[in-house]
Amino acid sequence: MKKPTQESLLVRLQRLLPAKLMGKIVHRAALSENSLLKTVLINSFIRLYKVNLSDAESPNAGSYRSFNAFFTRKLKDGARPIDESDSTVCSPADGTLAESGLIHGSKLIQAKGIDYTVEQLFASSDLAAQRFINGRFATVYLAPYNYHRIHMPIAGALTESVYVPGGLLSVNAATTAQVQGLYAENERLIQLFNGENGPFAVIMVGALNVGSITTAWGGETPQHVRENGHHFLHTKSDPHTYYEKGDYLGHFNLGSTVIFLAGPEQLNWEEGLQAGTSLRVGERIGTLN
C-alpha cells in the first residue's frame, strides 16, 4: 500500500477538524476588544510573520481596537499606487499569484495537474458561469502577513453577488496541490460585474479559520447567508453600484484567496506573469483589448 504523503495526512486532518466551529471561535477572539487578549494576539502575530507596519494608516500596533482591526488595517494614502492607464488590469490584492491564464472551455488550473470548472466554481451552469467560457483567470493567494483588503482590478458595475456555502480547507500550496477542485469546495463569495469590455467576476474564497467576509457594498456577510447560501443585492437602494479601478471592494476577516475572471477576448496577461510571482494592489498584471 502506498504510504500517504505528508500533505495528504494534513488534508485528512483538516477534514476531521470542526472547521465551522473553529472559524466562529477565531472570529470571536479576533473581534475581542479585551486589551490583554488583543495585545497578545497582535504582538505575537507581528513577531511570527515579521509584519511591517510602516505603510499602515496607523503604524502603532497598540492603536488597533482588536486583532481583526489590525489584520484588516487600511494603508496610508499612496501606499499602493494604482496604474491609471485606461487599458491596464491591476492586481486585486497583495499576495502570490497561484495560477493564471486561459480558461480552456470551462476549465481553470488550480495547481499543476489539477483543474476544475467554472460551473463548479459557480455551483451552477447558469448564464453567469457561461459568460466566462474560454475567458481568462488569475488566482491570488493571500498569506497571513499580506495586506488583506481587496481592490477592483478594473472598473465596473456590480450586478449580482452569490454566497456559496462550503468547506473551509486551507488554501496554501500544499493543500491546493492535493485537493481536487478545492476552490469549488470551499465557501466563497462570487461578485459579478459589468465592465466596458464585458462581464468579469471577483471571487473571494474562504479558508481554514476565516471568520467571515466583509464587502464595501454589504458589510459583513450574515451568518445565515454563510450557512445557507443566498442570492442577494449589494445595496438596498442601488442595484448597480459602480466602482473605479483600485477602489476598495472588501476584505477577509482572516485571509484566503481571490479569483479574478474575465470573459473571452477581454484582456491579455502581462508577458512573464507566472505562478509564484509576488503581487501588490494596483500593480499592472494585464491589458484590456
Q: Buried (b) or exposed (e) across 202-218, using 16+ Cβ within 10 A?
A: bbbbbbbbbbbbbbbeb
Biggest distance spanned by C-alpha atoms of the chain: 60
Listed in sequence order, the residues at least 6 apart from 60 whose beta carbon sits closer than 8 Å to its beta carbon are 53
Q: How far is CA 10 from the centre of its chain?
A: 22
What does the alpha-carbon distance between residue 70 and residue 81 come to, in Å, rounded to a whole number? 21
What is the Cα–Cα distance from 214 to 233, expressed in whole angstroms? 14
State yes or no: is 238 an active-site residue.
Answer: no
Q: Which amino acid, residue 218?
A: G
> Cβ-count burial of 273 within 10 angstroms (0-12 exposed, 13-18 middle, 19+ buried)?
middle
125 given a catalytic annotation: no
Active-site residue, from 91, 100, 148, 151: 151
Per annotation, catalytic residue among 94, 100, 148, 251? 94
Catalytic residue check, 58: no
Tell me the backbone φ, ψ of residue 238, rounded to 5 degrees: -130, 105
Which residues are identified as catalytic?
94, 151, 256
